[in-house]
Structure 1
């Protein structure tokens, strides 16, 4: 199945999961904690099940890796050249704090590269998607769809950062820019803000996993941006260790002003 024909089906699947997530979001849900002390709710598990079941029906030949089903041996994963990468709810802290800035993320990875991504923000009633060679798009809260691209360089760099993970290393990175504006956003929406031209760079000098970034990385790439490690290498997927190295997601400003 070609990427353009996959996108609407994956968007429909993400919308179905988002609908269930939003229903739980409006209730007095219980918060549990994993062994690493990260929060998990019934919404995470429900979204996981809807997406995994949907993908297995849609593309039974493509394996699936989800945050809530990540205990797949490396011996098996190492053979995957193409796989689905899911975060049923990215930004569970935003979910439990009821900020609205959490997302449902679905990405298709091919040879280490995210080639298709869908990101929905259930509480904001927004959706972003993009695929390699086809561009990136946003559906706003009124249902309007528009093509999105990264912004052209301006005099001030707009740095998007996490409300929950603004550590000292990130502050030091941001301080390098003389003329700067801080744009705060939760979950994978930080990538999407760059993709739609509302921010310029997102430095992540803290831990993330592949499923946290894959879908929004695909959207940003399709919008003309990129995601690189601190040594300038492309951020890759399908590694034995699912933890990402530190990275910088960027649009045209960072690419032209900093890297020349």
Structure 2
């Protein structure tokens, strides 16, 4: 929080982030599994749909109206993290899933204040789930299937990697970086491993369902919202040098107890 920002201001920021998530859902969910969905490839060969761009444009319009003095960084329209207040948007995290009709995708909205994520919302309407957090206020979820409208999140108490459940996104990411042995070393040290990937495994760490999640390559918009969510649930999110930041290019998320042991296996140098 920047000096002089009142607590009531942070509550208003969270309320706006939740409203932005509502606006995102209103754009993305009607386009999910739409027969006329348009899918293109960006220069980095990752997919982008008409829903991605329409969603980000809608959120930028809301922010221009309600927070005209704040900067915006989005996956599709760009921007810079910089200093001060920056809203960070990933209109659809899990676009490959979205484009193939897999319901595991979400819109991510974060407020980063002087480089530190302070508000985060993850909305996964096709799953019927939402997660949110604000610095110093705890992390929460809505899970209608279990009758939970506002349940507080807490990470697991697993303290030994041998008992840990770990996740990554895709083994090929590790292979492309010539670092797959690091992920395999972590899986050998853990009880079980999966590839839930994207936003979901960070949220599952915050829920205490997973204990460790590792991304060998990630962007600021992938991590800003989930960083504050995990931290407010009692866990840690760092890059793979151990620095606490959403813009380090990769990430390790954990319940905190296992962080150093996991980092020793997957760390990169500088």
**TM-score bucket of the superposed structures, by smaller chain:** 0.7 to 0.9
Residues 190/161 of structure 1: CA separation in 2 closer, same or farther (3 Å cut)? same
Match of 1:199 in 2: 210
1:16-35 equivalence runs, <5 A? 16-28=23-35, 29-35=37-43
Please state how far the C-alpha of 1:256 moved relative to its aligned partner.
7.2
Please state how far the C-alpha of 1:230 moved relative to its aligned partner.
2.5
Residues 236/103 of structure 1: CA separation in 2 closer, same or farther (3 Å cut)? closer
Residues 102/258 of structure 1: CA separation in 2 closer, same or farther (3 Å cut)? closer
Residues 163/259 of structure 1: CA separation in 2 closer, same or farther (3 Å cut)? closer
CA contact (8 A) 1:161 1:183 kept: yes
| 1:47 maps to which of 35, 46, 55 | 55
Higher relative contact order (CA 8 A, sep 6+): 1
- Residue 175 of structure 1 aligns to a residue whose secondary structure is helix
TM-score (norm 1): 0.86
- Residue 10 of structure 1 aligns to a residue whose secondary structure is helix
Match of 1:245 in 2: 249
Residues 84/247 of structure 1: CA separation in 2 closer, same or farther (3 Å cut)? same
Establish whether residue 227 from structure 1 lines up as the match of residue 230 from structure 2: no
Please state how far the C-alpha of 1:210 moved relative to its aligned partner.
0.8
Q: 1:94 & 1:122 partners in 2: Cα distance?
A: 13
Q: 2:43 & 2:261 partners in 1: Cα distance?
A: 42
Q: 1:19 & 1:185 partners in 2: Cα distance?
A: 25
Please state how far the C-alpha of 1:184 moved relative to its aligned partner.
3.0
| 1:122 maps to which of 125, 140, 146 | 125
Comparing 162-171 with 61-70, greater Cα deviation is found at: 162-171
- Residue 188 of structure 1 aligns to a residue whose secondary structure is helix
Match of 2:17 in 1: 10
Q: 1:236 & 1:31 partners in 2: Cα distance?
A: 28
1:73-152 equivalence runs, <5 A? 78=82, 80-142=83-145, 144-152=149-157
The C-alpha deviation readout for 1:7-40, integer Å capped at 9, x for no partner, is 1332122122112201011311121111221111
Runs (4+) of structure 1 exceeding 6 A deviation are none
1:55-74 equivalence runs, <5 A? 55-70=63-78, 72=79
Comparing 160-169 with 124-133, greater Cα deviation is found at: 160-169
Aligned residue pairs total 248
Q: Any unmatched runs of 5+ in structure 2?
A: 1-7, 265-270
Residues 236/127 of structure 1: CA separation in 2 closer, same or farther (3 Å cut)? closer
Q: 2:196 & 2:263 partners in 1: Cα distance?
A: 25
Q: Any unmatched runs of 5+ in structure 1?
A: 238-243
CA contact (8 A) 1:183 1:199 kept: no
CA contact (8 A) 2:203 2:226 kept: yes
Larger proportion of helix: 2
TM-score (norm 2): 0.83
